[in-house]
Structure 1
Amino acid sequence: MRRHPRGDWWLAAALAMLAGCVDAIGFLRAGGMFVSFMSGNTTRMAVDAVAREAAAYTAAGLILGFLAGVVGGAVIAQAAGRWQRPAVIGATALLLALAAALSAWPLAVVLLAVAMGVVNAVFERGGEVSIGVTYMTGTLVKLGQHLSAALMGTAPRTAWVPYLLLWSGLAAGAVAGAAAYGRYGTAVLWAAAGAAALLALATLPGAAGARRDG
């Protein structure tokens, strides 16, 4: 993440905030399942399978939905070329809007997982994701490593800042999503879709703050 320009830090933090918001809504809507945190769903699937609970199927469905989103996002990213970022974020916005429109149906939660899989392709480079915006375990590990290096004087003092920014974005988004869901229910997904659409517009080639390739 440190090799990216600072504009990418803020975009990643904004996307992490969006992911935190959507994950909180999905968690509350799905009764304790995640739409962006597949490690948690894998544990839930295993525990519920051993207990022979039907929730294991829900966890498995969300994992498959997320995986499908990752595959779809990678295809979009590779096909879109220099339009990669707005195309991927735009697809995420459409999926969130579809989930909002179908919020009364169980399928909506799976669509949220698909959207969270897709959005990880925003920072895909050479078939690898350089910044993950929906999962934070690795980010916290890097935060700790760079903070340790800064304290030992073997790295710049601010090397840990972008990782803290990314994690803080997800945490802030989760707080906002939980609070908004408590008041507005799944209707808040329309706001999430709108926020994603605005981010897609902001990353159009030539837009102020958009990355310039070359």
Structure 2
Amino acid sequence: MITHRRRERAIAVALTGLAGYVDALGFMTLGGYFIAFMSGNTTRLGVGAVRSVSTAVVPAAVIILFVLGVVGGSLVNHRVGAHRRAVVMGLVTLLLALSGVCQRVDFFWGAIVCMALAMGAENTVFERNGEVSLGVTYMTGTLVKLGQRLTSVLLGGDRWAWAWYFLLWVGLLAGTVLGSLAYLHFALDSLWFAVALGVGLTGLLLWWAPASD
């Protein structure tokens, strides 16, 4: 996180907000399964496999779709030169828009598929040498780094390096709250707010962060 430029960090916080927003929509739609948080789905998969195989099907399917989304985003990163971050973000936005279209035509599972693919691809927006340099849909690692940076403060290190990790967590939390509120009023039609944010982030990535690393 702290090795990225400040404007890239700001975009990463917005991406975590988008992930939290979409994850809340998925969680409320699927009745307790996640669209972006695969650690939670892995737990649901394990528990479901023991209690009832049928309850393991949804988390298993979402995990597979998420991984396929990561593969798609990584392939774009490898095949596109400059502005690859914006192109990946454009792919995420397109998938979210397709999800919204599926919702409008009452193709429920099509919407879920596109949401899961989008969340996998979103994690590859910031990629270096084939590895994700900024994960935006999972917070366990971020909270670990937050704790390490706070420890560094106690030992006389940089007093503010922890703040960006905290903001990543706040971004996800804020997105989840907004997604939950939107779902209560608009159900899955709330996806179009996510599409609008995706369009804005694609534009910012074109302008601010063309991806030279």
Same fold (TM over 0.5): yes
Q: Which amino acid aligns with 1:124?
A: E
State the partner residue of 2:150: 147
Judge conservation of contact 1:35–1:110 (CA < 8 Å) in 2.
Answer: no
For residues 147 and 184 of structure 1, do their structure 2 counterparts lie closer, same or farther at Cα, with a shift above 3 Å needed?
same
Aligned length: 210
* Structure 2 counterparts to residues 46-125 of structure 1, below 5 A: 46-103=46-103, 104=106, 105-125=108-128
Judge conservation of contact 1:16–1:170 (CA < 8 Å) in 2.
Answer: yes
Give 3-state SS (helix, strand or coil) of 1:203's partner. helix
Partners of 1:60 and 1:213 lie apart in 2 by 36
Judge conservation of contact 2:86–2:202 (CA < 8 Å) in 1.
Answer: yes
Task: Report the CA distance between 1:107 and its aligned residue.
Answer: 2.8
Q: Which amino acid aligns with 1:171?
A: L
1:14-43 deviation line (CA, Å, top 9, x unaligned): 000000000000000011000111111011
TM-score by length of 1: 0.95
Give 3-state SS (helix, strand or coil) of 1:106's partner. helix
Deviates more, 1:77-86 or 1:141-150: 77-86
State the partner residue of 1:131: 134
Partners of 2:123 and 2:76 lie apart in 1 by 11
Judge conservation of contact 2:149–2:162 (CA < 8 Å) in 1.
Answer: yes
Task: Report the CA distance between 1:82 and its aligned residue.
Answer: 1.1
Identity %: 47
Of residues 177, 181, 184, the one that matches 1:179 is 181
TM-score by length of 2: 0.95
Partners of 1:110 and 1:41 lie apart in 2 by 15
Q: Which amino acid aligns with 1:61?
A: A
1:210 and 2:213 correspond: no
Judge conservation of contact 1:17–1:172 (CA < 8 Å) in 2.
Answer: yes
Task: Report the CA distance between 1:110 and its aligned residue.
Answer: 2.3
Task: Report the CA distance between 1:212 and its aligned residue.
Answer: 6.8
Q: Which runs of 5+ in 1 are unaligned?
A: none
Q: Which amino acid aligns with 2:122?
A: V
Give 3-state SS (helix, strand or coil) of 2:20's partner. helix
Of residues 181, 191, 208, the one that matches 1:189 is 191
Task: Report the CA distance between 1:179 and its aligned residue.
Answer: 0.4
Partners of 1:171 and 1:134 lie apart in 2 by 11
Judge conservation of contact 1:92–1:119 (CA < 8 Å) in 2.
Answer: yes
Q: Which amino acid aligns with 2:115?
A: L
Q: Show structure 1 runs of 4+ deviating over 2 A.
A: 209-214
Q: Which amino acid aligns with 1:122?
A: V
After superposition, the CA RMSD in angstroms is 1.3
